[in-house]
Structure 1
Amino acid sequence: MKKNLPPNPLTSLKAKIAKYLLEDEVIMNWSILNKCILILILGSLVHIIWIIWKSFILLSPNLWNFVHLPLLKLQLKLDILFCCLLILMVFPCAYWHKKRWAQQWLPYLSIGILVLSLCRNGSMIGVLSPATMVSYVSLVTVGLVLFNRKIVYYTLVPVTLFLILSNYLSLQGQISYAPLFNLSTSPYQNKFWVSSMLYFIAPILIICLILFEILLSQWRHREQLIQHLSQIDPLTNTLNRRSIKACLEKLEHKPTKSYALVLIDLDHFKQINDQYGHNKGDETLIQVSEALSQIIRDNDVVGRFGGEEFILILHQSSLAQAENIAERCRQAIQALHLLSNMGDIIKVTASFGVAFSSTETNPQKLLSQADKALYEAKACGRNQVKCYRERLVEAKLY
């Protein structure tokens, strides 16, 4: 006897993470203050990376000649200050996340503090350095994805003006370019400067790439979900009329037309709604769709064609096979166990009209034939299967 093995914790964790990232918590749908919290946390991580770099320089006397040591010490203190400030800003964003005034002003304050700290570090390592440019482009792109454009441009315009002005003043010799470093030659000939740029760029790129991957995965999942919902009837979880029409159009262009259509209409469905309520009517439709889905083959199609009308597309099926499947579906619907709120048995039956394709029959004409067969089934007393048999010999059915 096979024993039930305990669930793998790692697999369970991966499933929870995937569900969180792709389904339940789409980042683009977060509230604006939750997005601010995310940016503040990422900004504090970047500051921690800077603190580690500057602390490493201070603890390595052999590297002191590559930097302006007093300025490095000052910048380390400012990094710690801004890191603490960014972390502290998380608390008001979380505490007042439902307050209208907080939603209006805290995003500007949070992003303003982050951008101010980034501009300060950018001017220290060179406004045209790769690290500064990567940070500039990455933050603008992430900001435009997550936030209202007004908030992004509120910080983008002064930052851009600051970078242009700093670069102009450094070209005029009025301020030092990359004052944190001792650059006697071209920066790109200084191995220490180049390695420092790589150190600054790597975490920013990794963080932004991870964030973009999450956003892209969520966007793709949402697009697939929207596409799925546009094709599915929300109540019965079967194909809707639009999707059925698309399936029939595909069949019209196929070289082989060996298929059958089955139209199904629930008998006296209006009486179920009137006597037991629309909730019981919905429950009836759901159970009928489930019964149909269990009987048809994997390559067949079931859809809701109207209010209480369903349709089956049976691929590569003879008339006899289609009639047999329809009869099994009729029996399954008749055997449904539905109870009213008072405990009364709700009787459910359905009438079926079957039509088989021939080389001269297009899907729309076949649909009309199935409808005629369905009308005959209802005229003969309902709860039965009728097949459209006109021109049966010409179609060479078997």
Structure 2
Amino acid sequence: MRFHLNIEILEAFVTVLMIPTFHLLRHNTFAKKILPHVCIALITTSLVFDWYSSGLLAAGTVINAMDFLYLMIVLFDRRFLLTTLIYTISIFVVFLSSGMVNGEMNYAPLFNLANIGYPNFKNNFWLASTLYSSVPPLIVCVSLLSTILTQWRNRENYITQLSQRDGLTSIYNRRVLTENLMALDQNQSQLPYAILIIDLDFFKSVNDTYGHIVGDHVLIDSAKLIQQSIRATDILGRYGGEEFLIIIQDATMPDIQGVAERCRKALADYRHVVDAKSKIQVTCSIGVALSSHHDNVMHVLDSADQALYQAKINGRNQVCLA
């Protein structure tokens, strides 16, 4: 017991000494190749000694082995697993196993039953030792697993957002719009829906006159203004370069016309800042089409596009109903 505690103190001292050493050598190319092997060798030696002291079949030994394997897979490159296995097997074969076969080493000397009694749940030393060797590794592994899962979820959410959002305006991209339009065709029992196509008037001249950076800011501001003008249940996305598309479901014609007119007025009233001395107005034309019972979504979309074309012919900055 005294010898085991001395080893534990030595291990704690070496661990504390390793922290600043590893930190100082973190940018050294040679150290980056060697230090992982040093770390694995020290950890493996420590664990093998603990496993020998408490017995290979003890609960703490099994838990430690599983936790160590998990940490190896998470923290280190896969090639280090082979190094660890070879190192661990070598220690057991050369030192521990030979000593136990020759009778020079006893199984689980820390739990010498002649001195401490049988390891039942009334034996406080056995119970405390099991908790001591099992709980800390479990806490470390569970904490690490929780951190990894949190990072994984955040990354999945970020990837999902990237796949669904337009990179410039942050509203839905065309892929999401297409999925929602196709879903409208699949649900034949739903109420009529409306499609609005919004096109910024003379947007090419904005890029030609003020540059694409100003043009990008106009698109971003326009997307925000339209988002603020629609209902929470409406679906807004960027359909093309300067075109936006809105899908409105479960609404009457006055509601649909109200949404379209709010979008038109919001864009017409806004002044986009070019520099400290100048601002520009960018209006829009809007085509609106409402589905009937037998219409497929492509027919409604084409009707909205024709209505948009008519709005442009009529002088722009207006809403035209198909």
2:145 counterpart residue number: 212
- Superposed CA deviations along residues 110-137 of structure 1, whole A, max 9, x for unmatched, are 2322222122222111123221221111
What is the distance in 2 between the residues matched to 1:267 and 1:235?
19
CA–CA separation in structure 2 for the residues paired with 1:373 and 1:107: 67
Does residue 328 of structure 1 match 2:268? no
In the alignment, what sits opposite 1:41?
A: none
**Quick check: 1:318–1:356 contact (8 Å CA) kept in 2?**
no
Q: State the Cα deviation string for residues 321-370 of structure 1 (Å, max 9, x = none).
A: 22221111011111222121363222211111100011111222211111
1:131 equivalent to 2:54? Answer no
Deviation at 1:316, TM superposition (A): 1.1
Instruction: Specify the alignment match of 1:240 in structure 2.
Output: 173
Q: How many residues align?
A: 317
For the pair 1:284 / 2:218, whether they are aligned, the reply is: yes
Change in Cα spacing, 1:290 to 1:168, as seen in structure 2 (3 Å) is: farther
Q: 2:282 aligns with which of 348, 365, 369?
A: 348
* CA-based RMSD: 2.3
Give the CA deviation at 1:284: 0.8
Partner of 1:152: 81
C-alpha separation between the residues in 2 aligned to 1:344 and 1:210? 55
Q: Sort the Cα spacing of 1:229 and 1:187 in 2 relative to 1 into closer, same or farther, 3 A.
A: farther
1:182 to 112, 128, 132: 112
Q: Distance in 2 between matches of 1:156 and 1:364?
A: 62
Kindly state the Cα deviation for residue 304 of structure 1 after the two structures are TM-superposed: 0.7
Structure 1 residues 96, 382: closer, same or farther in 2, change over 3 A?
Answer: farther
Change in CA separation of 1:186 and 1:358 when aligned onto 2, cut-off 3 Å: farther
SS in 1 for 2:109: coil
Q: Indicate conservation of the 8 Å contact 1:233/1:239, yes or no.
A: yes
The residue type paired with residue 209 of structure 1 is: V
Deviation sequence 1:8-59 (CA, Å, 0-9, x none):
xxxxxxxxxxxxxxxxxxxxxxxxxxxxxxxxxxxxxxxxxxxxxxxxxxxx
Of 160-169 and 97-106, more deviation after overlay is shown by 160-169
Against the structure 1 CA distance between its residues 167 and 258, is the aligned structure 2 distance closer, same or farther, given a 3 Å change threshold? farther
Return the letter of the residue paired with 1:193.
Answer: W
User: Is the alpha carbon distance of 1:101 and 1:268 closer, same or farther for their aligned partners in structure 2, counting shifts above 3 Å?
Assistant: farther
> Structure 1 residues 295, 341: closer, same or farther in 2, change over 3 A?
same
How many Å apart are 1:168 and its aligned residue? 7.6
CA gap 1:164/1:126 in 2 versus in 1, 3 angstroms: farther
Question: What are the Cα deviations for residues 192-247 of structure 1, in whole angstroms up to 9, with x where unaligned?
Answer: 43542233212222221122122112212221221122111122111111111111
Pairing partner for 2:318 from 360, 367, 384: 384
C-alpha change, 1:164 and 1:375, in structure 2 (3 Å) is farther
| Counterpart mapping for 1:159-198 below 5 A | 159-160=88-89, 162-163=91-92, 166=96, 170=100, 173=103, 175-184=105-114, 188-189=119-120, 191=123, 192-198=125-131
**1:94 equivalenced with 2:23 (yes/no):** yes
Residues 1-398 of structure 1 correspond to what in structure 2 (within 5 A)?
Answer: 72-160=1-89, 162-163=91-92, 166=96, 170=100, 173=103, 175-184=105-114, 188-189=119-120, 191=123, 192-254=125-187, 255-341=189-275, 343-388=277-322
Residue identity in the other structure for 1:280: V
Q: Which residue type is aligned with residue 34 of structure 2?
A: W
* 2:111 alignment partner, SS class: coil
Contact 1:125 1:179 in 2 (8 A): yes
Q: Residues 128 and 167 of structure 1 are in contact (CA less than 8 Å); yes or no, is this contact kept in structure 2? A: no
What's 1:7 paired with? none
Q: Shift of the alpha carbon at 1:99?
A: 3.1
**CA, structure 1 residues 115+329, in 2 after alignment: closer, same or farther (shift >3 Å)?**
same
Structure 2 spans left out of the alignment, 5+ residues:
none
Relative distance call for 1:139 and 1:289 in structure 2 (3 A) is same
Please give the alpha-carbon distance, in whole angstroms, between the structure 2 residues aligned to 1:351 and 1:168: 87
Verify the 8 A CA contact 1:257 1:357 in the aligned structure 2: no
Check whether the contact 1:251–1:257 (CA below 8 A) recurs between aligned residues.
no
Letter in 1 for 2:250: Q
